[in-house]
Every structure is written in structure tokens, then in C-alpha cells.
Structure 1
Amino acid sequence: MARFGFDYAVGASWKSPADPKGDAANMVRRYGVSDTETAARYGYHPAPDMVPAAPASTQPMSDAESSVFLGDTPQPGSSGPAPKSYKGQEIPSHGCSGEAERKLGKGLQERLPENINDASFQQSMSTPQVTAVFRSWSTCMKKHGYSFQTPLEPLRDRLADSSSAAEIEMAKTDVACKQKTNLIGTWVAMESAIQKELIEKNQEALAQVRATAQKTLERSAKVIAEGSAS
């Protein structure tokens, strides 16, 4: 885009200090609220460092920028042929986005790992060990006046703008019951076993995903180094 005189800003992805990999599989609340100190301060509300920052506002692309960025990529609602050049420079096939994809590859293919991540979570909740520990946790919560079948249910309630004393007390009880019943330890163990089985079944496909990702990273590093040197 810079070759054509445009300043194209690439937004950085947000990563929480509590979730340094920015990865859904490492969500700090994958199994519900689990930290005593956080529950005592914020209840079921996320701590400030868990809330993604608002994305920086960006101006929509002008027609000229869009033409250079997309080139001859078919666009809904567009009429007439796409321009082949801009200010005397030939626009590459499918624009700058197409050129970037040809240099870097199609990027990181996350569908299979995400499917395994989702499947292991859903399957884990049906294992006898996890359903049993859910019952124990539910019994513990009921002794304190709270009626929930699973530890995910409290997270589905609509939260007020700020944490109330009642919410904080329930969250503290939730964490205490998890600790008493070893809910997190049991759930992690069961889901980890399922994930290992799914990984073994999809080992060849996952190896290809990893190889493709490695090539993309290597190409990216090369392009960045060339850009820095020029």
C-alpha cells in the first residue's frame, strides 16, 4: 500500500496479561470463576486486565485505496471492470492483499485446532467424572443457598454495571466449592485426556497445519527483514 502512497495501518491483536497467548484454549474462565482473590474483588465481573481495549477507530478506505487493496477481486455491488493501474503503477492481481497472500501464504489455519478445542470442552462435560464433580459442586452451592447444576450457569446471568456485595459473596462461594470438590483439577484432567486422544487421531492433519504455519512465519520474517533493510 505504501508503494501506492497509502498509509495502511495493521491493527495489533489484543492479548490479556492473564491470557498471554491470546488463545481461547487458555481462557482464565474456561471453567468458570476460579480465583479467590479475583472473585473477592470483582465477583463474576472480569478483572480490568481481562477486558479487551476498544479497537482504535479507523477511517473507511477511499475508492482509490480499496481499488489498490483489492485489485480485481470481485466485490458485491461493484459495476464495471476494476482499474488495472493507479497513478501509473500497475495494480497487482487481487491488489495488495493478493500480493501479500502470495508472498506469505494463506496464513495460519486454525479451524482444526479450534474444532478440537471446542469438542474436548463439550465432551468433557459428559464424562462420568465431570458430571459427578458437578453434582458435588452443586450440592456444596445449595448448602449456601445457591441453586445451580453446573459451574457455567452463574456466568450466563446478565451482570450489572458493577459488582454487588451479593454477587461477590456468591462468586467467593463458587470458588470455595470448586476448591472443596477439586472441580477444576478433575475437569482439566478429563478434558486433557480427551484432547490427547483427538490430537492422536488427527496427528497427520495437525502436523500439516503446523508445517503450513511455520512456512508462513518464516516468509513473514523474511518480508519484514527485507522491508527493514530497504
Structure 2
Amino acid sequence: MSAMIAFVSISLAASGCVGSDSTDVTGATERPNSAGGTSFEQMLSAQDRELPLDKYLLNPKQSKTVQDAYAKLLSACMHGYGFEYEIPQSDDTSGGMGEDAPRTRVDGRYGYQSMAHARTWGYHPVGGVPEENSTASDEVTHANPEWSLAARGTRDPGKEFGPGGRTANGQIVPDHGCVGKALQQLTGSQEGDLGDSELATSLKFSTLTDSREDNATREVFRQWSACMYKEGYSYLDPIAALADPQWQAGRQATKPEIRVAVADQRCRERENVVGVWFGVDRKYQQQAVESRAKGLAAAKQNIDRKVKAAQSVLGK
């Protein structure tokens, strides 16, 4: 059920907890915040709002393009050695968030930000938590030494990769096998990474931690918690509500979970949770971009090179 807690949430400011059940983002009014007198934009959802680090991380469309190209290359290579191997592909780039998914980044970052989602799915992804797709036949295939040689360049199950050089189905296996060949074509290295750079990933998480611990965000958590208490629920912050172990017991949301998720959305709207957290987060990300400009420029070049290679493979 770990897919359920891949996201995080937040809240802000004063008074009681009567709110509408609005679903979509509304605009750009600013609301004075009790934390330090700072004004934050009123916001129900930040999923269509770009953050400074977004351009240095693969967005959903880019990520799918790279993964689709990798799947095509790996499948074609394995077929050449006599193995039918397909990586399951999906047209869904939302990560289970559906219409609530972010547009310019993969991570939801502030948790679910839609009353419509809360009413139907609670804290579960759209459609519920998917079942595992692995089968016994998959396990047998991957345990086959010849399959391993073609895929990874070694028959040794204890090694991640091998030097190849041996014959499979009448052909010489390349160094690092078909996996290495595919990675070489997309990243320029047999041990390349299809994902984000280590620097950009590290900054993505460190700025999230900083924004959660900022005084303005902590204040908004306190206000959100008070609002939820009036709704009949006791949670320290929105993250605690999202990660409640009760919600991980089943693949689908329960009625109690949906009631909490709906109250969460009401309180986050009332206290401007997303508006505050987004504003604070953006500040920390901008500082990170300015202080690590050289390394992030290299990360951006890496993304551009990888996506261009993937588009070429897919004929785009």
C-alpha cells in the first residue's frame, strides 16, 4: 500500500472550519497570513503551478517518453536473442492521481488537492491500489540463466551486470546485456540512469522538508489541525491524516476514510493549506536553484539529451 503515502499535504490561518466543497483551483487573490504577516495566494490546488525545480526534473510526459523508448529497445534486443519480453506500458501519466495530477512534475508534493477525488477515492489512488502484476511464469523466465545472460550480460544471479561476450541464440551478447545496450542508447552510458539527476532529486526532497518545517507552514498545520478537531478528527497535520495506517488495510477507500478525506479538503480550503505551503516551498526551491545553478544546468542538459534520444527511438 506504499503507493498511498507517496504524496504529502498541508494547511494555514485562522477561525472556524466552515468551508465549501469546491474542487478546482481558483485564482490569484492574496490572503494575509497570521504567520509573520506574510501574504499567501489563496489556492485550492497547485497542480498546474510550476515550481523552480520542475525544469530540472522529468515531467510526466518526458518520463513516459523515456520509459516507452527503453521498453521498446529492451524488447527488441531480447527478441533478437529468442526471448519474448514486454515491459507493461500504460497511457496513464497521473501516478494514480487522475485529474488531480500535477502538470509540470511527477510528484504531487502537497498531497491530493481535489474534493472530487476525496469524495470518491479518499486517500487512495484513482481506481484503488493496483494488484501486483508479477506472475509465476515471469519469475521462471527471469531465473533462466540464458535469459539473464541476454538481459544483463551474465548468467550469475548474484551479479547485477556482466561483461557479455558469450553467445545466446547464435549472437554475441553485449557488455551489460540488452539492458546496458538500451541504457547506452538513451543515456550515453551502459550504467546510465533513466530518472532524474542525484542533485535535482536531493534538492527536491530537501526543499520539501524545509518547507514543511518553516514557521509559516507549521502555523498552517496548527490551524488545519484545529479545524479538523471541530470536524471530529484528531490529526497533528495533513500528512498524518494521509498516512493513517487504517487507510492501508484495503485496495479501496472505506467510508470512514472518505469522510476524513472530505473534512481534510474542507479544512485545507478554509485555512489555505496549499497556498501557504506552495508559497513557502517556492521560496526554498528558488534559493536552491540559485545556489546550485551549475549542477542543475548539467541536470537540465542530461534531461534534454535523454528525451531527444527517446523521441528518436519512438519516431517522434
Q: Same fold (TM over 0.5)?
A: yes
1:147-194: CA deviations, max 9, x gaps?
Answer: 222111112222254545444333322221111111111111111111
2:81 equivalent in structure 1: 4
Structure 2 CA distance for aligned equivalents of residues 203 and 224 of structure 1: 31
Q: Which runs of 5+ in 2 are unaligned?
A: 1-77
Alignment-mate amino acid for residue 177 of structure 1: C
Aligned residues between the structures: 220
Is 1:55 equivalent to 2:133 in the alignment? yes
Alignment RMSD (CA, Å): 3.2
1:228 equivalent in structure 2: none
1:108 equivalent in structure 2: 194
Alignment-mate amino acid for residue 220 of structure 2: V
Q: Which of 15, 31, 45 pairs up with 2:93?
A: 15
Is 1:215 equivalent to 2:294 in the alignment? no
Distance 1:77 1:94, change over 3 A: closer
Instruction: Find the structure with the greater CA-based Rg.
Output: 1
Q: CA deviation at 1:213?
A: 2.4
Structure 1 CA distance for aligned equivalents of residues 155 and 306 of structure 2: 22
Alignment-mate amino acid for residue 176 of structure 1: R
Q: Which runs of 5+ in 1 are unaligned?
A: 226-230
Distance 1:124 1:3, change over 3 A: same
1:145 equivalent in structure 2: 232
Distance 1:169 1:95, change over 3 A: closer
User: Tell me, what secondary structure is at the counterpart of 2:238?
Assistant: coil
More helix by share: 1
State, as a whole percentage, how many aligned pairs show the same letter.
Answer: 28
Contact kept, 8 Å, 1:108 with 1:213, in 2: the verdict is no
Q: CA deviation at 1:4?
A: 2.4
Q: CA deviation at 1:83?
A: 6.3
Q: CA deviation at 1:66?
A: 1.6
Q: Which protein has greater RCO, CA pairs closer than 8 Å, 6+ apart?
A: 2
Is 1:40 equivalent to 2:119 in the alignment? yes
TM-score, normalised by the number of residues in structure 2: 0.59
Contact kept, 8 Å, 1:31 with 1:151, in 2: the verdict is no
1:20-75: CA deviations, max 9, x gaps?
Answer: 769542x2xx3344322332334334432x74564364622322222122225875
Q: Which of 205, 208, 211 pairs up with 1:118?
A: 205
